[in-house]
């Protein structure tokens, strides 16, 4: 996907652009510095979780930036110098699921009760030649209505709902990618869930 701010812009002008993707995904942003006019000072700042991670000027060669979180803020500033018109900036971005060796996922507000009307998706991607081992540390939801579904490209791996007596328990897959979907309806809420996952070299 492309983002473009091209056209006449006044000195001391600022434009903020926010790019946000689903939790569990990251952003790969490619700046095209050639669209910045050379004779006037133009700066493009890229922020991740309010931390400055990149600065692009009119003399910067096109390059890419990888986010740490699932959102980026792009700030375009023009200076007060010069009488030329500002051309603006151009960038493209794509989303991807980062490859990790371990991670965790829990329902919002855990260990307090989650809220109604939740639909949250988390993506897990471990290295090729690894499976995934999910450790379910806690789970308590409205039986049949609030649930956590774990799927792979091939099938539904598990559909967790209600309450369980023995913790922790494990769920394994030989797939290197999985999708977790948490859903709650509008009625009863409960404690929710807490889980971790690791890349499993022994289950491929």
pLDDT above 50 for 144? yes
What's the number of domains the chain is made of?
Answer: 2
3-state secondary structure of 101: coil
Give the model's confidence band at 26: pLDDT under 50 very low, under 70 low, under 90 confident, else very high: confident
Taking residues 147-170, report their average pLDDT: 93
Taking residues 4-17, report their average pLDDT: 56
Of the three residues 96, 122, 152, the one that is the final residue of a domain is 96
Return the pLDDT at 99. Answer: 85
Same-domain status, 7 and 91: yes
Return the pLDDT at 10. Answer: 52
Same-domain status, 110 and 171: yes
Same-domain status, 29 and 61: yes
Same-domain status, 114 and 158: yes
pLDDT above 90 for 162? yes
Same-domain status, 121 and 196: yes
Of the three residues 96, 112, 131, the one that is the final residue of a domain is 96
Return the pLDDT at 35. Answer: 44
Return the pLDDT at 41. Answer: 41
- Domain containing 14 equals 2-96
Of the three residues 96, 111, 134, the one that is the final residue of a domain is 96
- Calpha distance 195→98 (Å, rounded): 19
Same-domain status, 134 and 163: yes
CATH code of residue 181: 2.60.120.290
Tell me the pTM.
Answer: 0.67
What letter would DSSP give residue 114? P
Task: Answer positive or negative: Cα dihedral of 123, 71, 147, 145.
Answer: negative
3-state secondary structure of 35: helix
* Phi, psi for residue 159 in degrees, rounded to 5: -130, 100
Same-domain status, 33 and 70: yes
β-strand partners of 184: 118
Same-domain status, 12 and 89: yes
Q: Tell me the per-residue pLDDT of 61-86, one tens digit each, with 9 for 90 and over.
A: 666 777 777 777 777 776 655 555 55
């Amino acid at each position: 996907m492309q983002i473009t701010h091209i056209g006449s812009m006044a000195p001391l002008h600022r434009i903020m652009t926010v790019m946000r993707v689903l939790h569990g995904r990251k952003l790969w942003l490619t700046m095209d510095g050639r669209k910045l006019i050379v004779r006037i000072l133009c700066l493009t700042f890229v922020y991740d979780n309010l931390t400055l991670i990149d600065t692009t000027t009119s003399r910067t060669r096109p390059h890419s930036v990888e986010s740490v979180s699932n959102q980026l803020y792009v700030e375009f500033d023009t200076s007060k110098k010069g009488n030329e018109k500002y051309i603006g900036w151009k960038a493209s971005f794509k989303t991807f699921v980062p490859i990790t060796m371990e991670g965790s996922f829990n329902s919002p507000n855990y260990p307090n009760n989650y809220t109604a009307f939740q639909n949250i998706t988390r993506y897990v991607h471990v290295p090729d030649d690894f499976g995934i081992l999910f450790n379910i540390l806690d789970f308590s939801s409205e039986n049949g209505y609030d649930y956590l579904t774990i799927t792979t490209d091939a099938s539904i791996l598990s559909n967790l709902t209600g309450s369980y007596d023995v913790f922790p328990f494990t769920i394994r897959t030989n797939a290197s990618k999985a999708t977790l979907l948490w859903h709650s309806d509008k009625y009863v809420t409960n404690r929710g869930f807490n889980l971790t996952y690791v890349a499993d070299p022994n289950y491929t």
